[in-house]
């Protein structure tokens, strides 16, 4: 299945800046990025290998295309290109509810809903949240988030108060950033289980892997996933209550998906990888 991620956030929060970083990134993962308008994207002309009107193909294997009249039609067209993309990212418009767009990820069995990332303007979000004209839009966007990118933190005068306010609006973990500069591995998962976590400023992020040779208690795994500071988790686990099945564990921010799938292979070992903030994962590393 192809992971499907939605990036939302109000006008001017920094969504396009984040997408520009994604399109320029040196990564083995090939992204298809769907946007409403090419105009704001800053794509280096040296990266462009083909420009087909509503699509731009890049030398790093990524593709950027405009949504056009129908997001569903555009998604289905991308899915008809087997093996070309590893991940689909949709930029929601600044006034859209990203949760409604993310729901499209369950409409086709070839898609896997990977989560909603909401970019927040640290300078203006509280004022806009109190504005009767756009406050409901801000609230819906924050509530939809599996992960928040608190952008422009250098422009707010009272960051602790803003953190408290965000905590009252959303249960999602928060990545703080300037100019939408965040480790992409924490936003979109990793190329494979066990790959090193991407480091951020001052190396504040960490990864930790667990392995179990025998079937493991489900509540034990759920307890690890609920650990404060976990931003991402991924694994294949054999649970004691479903020992004949491979259970795929996937977590982004506050949302956890566990799917019991194919028969367990005796040659396998249960493995779970967590990514998150280093200080908060430190206690796990000492166990």
pLDDT at 203 over 60: no
63-81 pLDDT, tens digit per residue, is 888 887 788 888 888 888 7
Rounded to the nearest integer, the mean pLDDT of the chain is: 83
Banded model confidence at residue 44, pLDDT cuts 50, 70, 90: low
Please state the domain extents for the chain.
Answer: 2-188, 201-285
pLDDT at 200 over 60: no
Percent residues over pLDDT 70 in the chain: 86
Banded model confidence at residue 195, pLDDT cuts 50, 70, 90: very low
Alpha carbon of 271 to those of 1, 22, 101, 169, 194: distances in Å? 20, 28, 31, 34, 9
Question: Where is average pLDDT lowest: 42-46, 91-95, 172-176?
Answer: 42-46
Domain spanning 2-188, CATH architecture: 3-Layer(aba) Sandwich (3.40)
Q: State the DSSP string of the chain.
A: -EEEEEEE--TTSSHHHHHHHHHH---SS-EEEEES-STT----GGGEEEE-SSEEEETTS-EEEE-TT-HHHHHHHHHTSTTS-SEEEEE--TTS-HHHHHGGGGSSTTEEEEEEEEEEETTTHHHHHT-TTTHHHHHHHHHH-SEEEEE-GGG-S-HHHHHHHHHHH--S-EEE-STT---HHHHH--SSTTPPPPP-GGG-EEEEEEEESS-B-HHHHHHHHTSTTEEEEEEEE-BTTSTTEEEEEEEETTEEEEEEEEEPPTT--EEEEEEEEHHHHHHHHT-
Domain range 201-285, its CATH number among 3.30.1220.10, 3.10.20.740, 3.30.2130.10, 2.60.120.10: 3.30.1220.10
276 bridge partner residues: 206, 230
pLDDT at 287 over 50: no
Q: What is the pLDDT of residue 108?
A: 79
As a whole number, mean pLDDT of residues 156-175 equals 92
2-188 against 201-285: fold identical: no
Strand order in 270-277's β-sheet?
205-212, 270-277, 230-237, 245-252, 255-263
As a whole number, mean pLDDT of residues 121-139 equals 94
Cβ atoms < 10 Å from Cβ of 105: 22
Model confidence, pTM: 0.75
């Amino acid at each position: 299945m192809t992971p499907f991620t939605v990036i939302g956030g109000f006008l001017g929060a920094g969504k396009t800046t984040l997408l520009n970083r994604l399109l320029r990134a040196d990564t083995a993962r090939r992204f298809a990025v769907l946007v409403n308008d090419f105009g704001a994207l800053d794509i280096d002309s040296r990266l462009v290998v083909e420009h087909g009107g509503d699509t731009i193909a890049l030398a790093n294997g990524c593709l950027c295309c405009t949504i056009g009249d129908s997001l569903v039609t555009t998604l289905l067209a991308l899915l008809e290109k087997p093996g070309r993309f590893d991940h689909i990212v949709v930029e929601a418009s600044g006034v859209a509810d990203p949760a409604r767009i993310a729901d499209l990820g369950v409409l086709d069995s070839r898609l896997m809903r990977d989560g909603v990332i909401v970019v927040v303007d640290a300078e203006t979000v509280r004022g806009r949240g109190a504005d009767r004209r756009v406050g409901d839009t801000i609230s819906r966007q924050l509530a939809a988030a599996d992960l928040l990118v608190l952008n422009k933190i250098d422009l707010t005068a009272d960051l602790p108060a803003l953190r408290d306010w965000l905590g009252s609006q959303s249960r999602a973990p928060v990545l703080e950033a300037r100019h939408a500069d965040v480790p992409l591995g924490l936003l979109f998962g990793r190329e494979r289980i066990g790959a090193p976590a991407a480091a951020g400023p001052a190396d504040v992020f960490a990864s930790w892997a667990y392995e179990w040779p025998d079937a493991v208690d489900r509540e034990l795994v759920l307890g690890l996933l609920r650990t404060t500071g976990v931003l991402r988790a991924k694994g294949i686990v054999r649970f004691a209550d479903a020992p004949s099945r491979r259970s795929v564990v996937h977590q982004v921010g506050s949302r956890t998906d566990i799917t019991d799938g194919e028969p367990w292979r005796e040659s396998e070992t249960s493995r779970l990888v967590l990514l998150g903030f280093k200080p908060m994962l430190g206690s796990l590393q000492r166990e």
